[in-house]
């Protein structure tokens, strides 16, 4: 898998700092599971966090070491790494199983979605777009992250294949089209509702929480 | 300090540092400690809870202490790690906006997690400070937001593949190198990095800041990537 579109430095720093909304964190964790480059970059940003930890010490109250020694639990054994499924592990945790366990809901024109349960600040969903199908033309009020898990899509900016992440902000308006040949499955997260151009998707927006 | 004997590891580390154009440190290519020796690592402990400065590296070998916790549930090694890192975790959490009492409680929990999750520690992948940072960060998310933090898939290799000693050394040194690089930064840039890592800036606020100095960590990325590729093939 050759990945050409990666997490940006700001997204990785915010993820390393633990300051991304959960839905964006899920996209980041899933991309990193597929991408060595971003895994290495995350490690480097976490090392900066390690250096910051070294800089500021505040004395603990007396007896805190003894209190901690008294509460030490049994060391946990290392869990064997789960067998690779179609969905990377961070996603199987949210789906509650592999791709077959996804509870798809129709969005119209053959497009299906499954909203994943995440905390406030942003929403995450899996999208299933039939080969050759277009997603209605839309703009963005905030940030939209779209990670391709299977198949590929194209928009005016580029082609996005498995592992590729498109970061769309307010200045991008696009009509993603799934490539012919294979259905496209994506993980998408937004921190603000999308802006659809035509009336029909706009009317349906509240219903589909998109 | 005896530096004049032939030491291939030191030569290799020096070449590596030059190649990668690492950020300058006050003691640039200082003496390289001998490979971690599990029997020897006990000797860096001097009495209960007192970490003695190791004579080979002029600094405590935290990774060796962590390995002693991991492999032998060594409580004296844990106590030494606690004395150093618990006050720093408390300081870090307070800087991140946590109230002192909760920060103290969390610091104890973070150190207890260090103990229970010790099996996950790999000295070639992260310095102890970096590892402590990730545990403290996760604890902060639990406390502040009651939200989950999705973690990337674990890699199918871990601490029981015997790590390369030059990599262990490089990783152990990186905290010192990054700390030095941070303190060399102009005040404005340093403050920006602190605010980003203390969780005060959202990703779009970080993106809007143009002065974020990221050059110092690029070499680290290359090193980590080489190691990942090597292990995955």
- pLDDT score, position B60: 82
- Higher per-residue confidence, A78 vs A60: A60
Q: Do the bridges between strand A144-150 and strand A153-154 make them parallel or antiparallel, or are there none, so unpaired?
A: unpaired
Q: pLDDT digit string (tens) for A127-150?
A: 999 999 998 888 888 999 999 999
d(C-alpha B68, C-alpha A70), whole Å: 19
Residue B195 touches chain A, beta carbons under 8 Å: no
Q: Which of B150, A19, A30 is nearest to A6 (CA)?
A: A30
pLDDT digits 0-9 by tens, B92-122: 999 988 899 999 999 999 999 999 999 999 8
Please give the sequence-ordered ranges of beta strands (E in DSSP) within chain B, or none if there are none.
none
Q: Would you say A194 and A139 are in contact if contact means Cβ atoms under 8 Å apart?
A: yes
Q: Tokens 């003894």 belong to which residue?
A: A66
Alpha carbon distance B182, B175 (integer Å): 10
- Candidate from B125, B152, B217 with C-beta closest to A48: B217
Q: Which residues of chain B have pLDDT under 70?
A: 1-59, 145-147, 156-161, 210-225, 227-233
Chosen for mutation from B89, B104, B133, B218 (greatest number of chain A CBs closer than 10 Å) is B133
Any alpha helices (H) in chain A, and if so which ranges?
A: 9-16, 22-34, 36-53, 64-71, 89-95, 199-208
Dmax (CA) for chain A in angstroms is 67
Residue B37, SS3 per DSSP:
coil
| Strand duo A123-129 + A153-154: pairing | unpaired
Helix axes B187-197, A9-16, angle to 10 degrees: 60
| Burial of A189 from C-beta contacts in 10 A (0-12 / 13-18 / 19+) | buried
Chain-chain contact of B152 with A52 (C-beta, under 8 angstroms): no
pTM over 0.80: yes
User: Which value does ipTM take for this structure?
Assistant: 0.90
Contact flag B119-A78 (C-beta cutoff 8 Å): yes
């Amino acid at each position: 898998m050759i990945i050409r579109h990666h997490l940006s430095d700001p997204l990785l720093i915010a993820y390393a700092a633990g300051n991304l909304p959960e839905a964006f964190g899920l996209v980041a964790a899933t991309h990193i599971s597929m991408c060595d480059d971003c895994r290495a970059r995350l490690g480097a940003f976490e090392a900066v966090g390690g250096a910051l930890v070294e800089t500021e010490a505040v004395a603990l109250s007396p007896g805190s070491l003894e209190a901690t020694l008294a509460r030490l639990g049994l060391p946990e054994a290392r869990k064997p790494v789960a067998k690779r499924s179609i969905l990377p592990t961070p996603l199987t945790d949210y789906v509650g199983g592999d791709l077959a366990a996804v509870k798809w809901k129709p969005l119209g024109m053959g497009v299906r979605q499954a909203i994943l349960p995440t905390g406030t600040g942003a929403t995450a969903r899996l999208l299933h777009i039939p080969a050759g199908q277009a997603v209605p033309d839309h703009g963005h009020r905030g940030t939209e992250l779209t990670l391709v898990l299977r198949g590929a899509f194209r928009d005016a900016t580029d082609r996005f294949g498995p592992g590729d992440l498109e970061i769309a902000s307010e200045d991008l308006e696009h009509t993603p089209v799934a490539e012919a040949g294979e259905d496209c499955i994506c993980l998408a997260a937004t921190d603000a509702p999308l802006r659809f151009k035509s009336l029909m998707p706009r009317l349906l927006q509240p219903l589909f929480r998109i | 300090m005896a530096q004049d004997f032939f030491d291939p590891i030191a030569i290799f580390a020096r070449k590596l540092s030059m190649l990668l154009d690492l950020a300058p440190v006050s003691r640039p290519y200082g003496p390289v400690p001998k490979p971690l020796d599990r029997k020897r690592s006990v000797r860096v402990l001097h009495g209960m809870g007192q970490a003695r400065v190791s004579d080979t590296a002029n600094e405590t070998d935290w990774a060796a202490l962590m390995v002693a916790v991991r492999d032998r549930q060594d409580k004296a090694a844990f106590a030494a790690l606690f004395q150093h890192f618990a006050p720093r975790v408390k300081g870090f959490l307070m800087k991140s906006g946590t109230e002192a009492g909760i920060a103290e409680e969390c610091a104890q929990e973070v150190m207890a997690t260090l103990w229970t999750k010790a099996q996950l520690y790999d000295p070639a992948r992260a310095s102890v400070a970096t590892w402590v940072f990730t545990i403290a960060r996760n604890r902060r998310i639990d406390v502040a937001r009651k939200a989950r933090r999705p973690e990337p898939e674990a890699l199918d290799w871990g601490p029981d593949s015997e790590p390369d000693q030059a990599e262990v050394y490089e990783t152990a040194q990186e905290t010192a190198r990054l700390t030095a690089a941070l303190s060399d930064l102009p005040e404005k840039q340093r403050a920006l990095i602190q605010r980003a890592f203390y969780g005060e800036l959202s990703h779009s606020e970080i993106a809007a800041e143009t002065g974020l100095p990221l050059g110092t960590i690029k070499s680290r990325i290359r090193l980590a990537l080489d190691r990942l590729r090597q292990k995955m093939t």
